[in-house]
């Protein structure tokens, strides 16, 4: 994950690098997702493939993940041929399983859908889930897609009643291992993101609870969230995510 947070010049297109390129394994959520998804999805090739060591499979997933995040950030189309040529040139027979796992990880972690726009030529576009536009400024080369995290926060606000007590939201995030003030959070400083950035962009409202002593605050959906999506859409998406997560991450089901 720290590799994905590097400046644009460090996130070099694998196809433009000189000689072999080594991409470190993704860490945190993406690394965990890739590892467990790899054990769930079977390869779809007609001939049986020799089983790959998990470390090698994770490295291929990491390379393709980085490549597609760059495409999303640049708002560029890509194709199966380009992915095979630039990322998996020496492992083309493993493309089906790697591509499937990466697509799921992008949706679950970053809120990015990989959609095929030309089935004949296998051309793909990467778009934010639910039509959210919070990632519009990613083309400047800074930051990672946050649409998936925004949907998670919106769903938490729904769960706690909209308005949702501030401490309930922070507590739910802590239980997921995401802490306010942590420099390791890939989405930046959480308090600033939720109470300033997304409030300024209109996705959230952050206000003092009337007549509260001592003073406490609460989160609500903002006007832009209502314009770009709906509570029904968020609820339906989270239901799909939960169902998929229980299948693909059995270690979390308990």
Burial of 124 (0-12, 13-18, 19+ CB in 10 A): buried
Which pLDDT tens digit goes with each residue over 41-77? 333 333 344 567 778 888 888 889 889 988 888 888 9
Question: Does residue 223 have a pLDDT over 90?
Answer: yes
Question: Does residue 150 have a pLDDT over 60?
Answer: yes
**Is there a domain that residue 211 lies in?**
yes
pLDDT, residue 1, reads: 46
CB 237 within 8 A of CB 129: yes
**Is there a domain that residue 185 lies in?**
yes
Which pLDDT tens digit goes with each residue over 76-99? 899 999 998 888 888 788 888 889
Which pLDDT tens digit goes with each residue over 160-205? 888 999 999 999 988 887 777 776 566 778 888 899 989 999 999 9
DSSP E strands, the chain: 78-79, 112-118, 123-128, 164-165, 204-208, 217-221
Burial of 240 (0-12, 13-18, 19+ CB in 10 A): exposed
**Is there a domain that residue 174 lies in?**
yes
Distance between CA 221 and CA 218 in Å, rounded?
Answer: 10
Same domain flag for 115 and 156: no
Q: Which residues pair with 116 in a beta bridge?
A: 124
Which CATH number do you get for residue 92?
A: 1.10.10.1200
Q: How many domains does the chain have?
A: 2
pLDDT, residue 25, reads: 34
Question: Does residue 226 have a pLDDT over 60?
Answer: yes
Which pLDDT tens digit goes with each residue over 132-144? 887 765 544 456 7
Distance between CA 68 and CA 184 in Å, rounded?
Answer: 22
Same domain flag for 61 and 101: yes
Same domain flag for 102 and 140: no
Same domain flag for 120 and 93: yes
**Backbone phi, psi, residue 206, to 5°:** -130, 110
Owning domain of residue 156? 133-238
């Amino acid at each position: 994950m720290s590799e994905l947070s590097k400046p644009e010049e460090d996130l070099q297109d694998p196809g433009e690098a000189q000689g072999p390129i080594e991409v470190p394994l993704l860490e945190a959520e993406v690394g965990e997702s890739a590892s467990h998804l790899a054990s769930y999805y079977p390869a779809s090739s007609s001939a049986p493939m020799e089983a790959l060591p998990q470390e090698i499979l994770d490295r291929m997933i990491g390379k393709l993940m980085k490549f597609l995040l760059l495409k999303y950030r640049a708002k560029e189309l890509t194709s199966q041929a380009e992915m095979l040529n630039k990322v998996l040139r020496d492992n083309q027979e493993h493309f089906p399983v790697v591509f499937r796992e990466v697509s799921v990880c992008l949706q679950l972690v970053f809120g990015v859908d990989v959609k095929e726009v030309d089935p004949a030529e296998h051309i793909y576009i990467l778009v934010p889930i639910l039509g959210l536009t919070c990632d519009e400024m990613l083309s400047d080369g800074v930051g990672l897609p946050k649409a998936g995290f925004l949907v998670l926060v919106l769903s938490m606000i729904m769960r706690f009643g909209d308005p949702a007590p501030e401490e309930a939201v922070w507590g739910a995030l802590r239980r997921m291992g995401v802490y306010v003030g942590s420099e390791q959070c890939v989405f930046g400083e959480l308090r600033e993101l939720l109470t300033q950035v997304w409030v300024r962009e209109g996705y959230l409202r952050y206000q003092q609870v009337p007549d509260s002593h001592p003073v406490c605050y609460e989160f609500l959906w903002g006007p832009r969230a209502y314009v770009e999506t709906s509570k029904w859409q968020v609820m339906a998406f989270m239901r799909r995510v939960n169902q998929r997560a229980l299948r693909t991450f059995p270690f979390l089901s308990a």
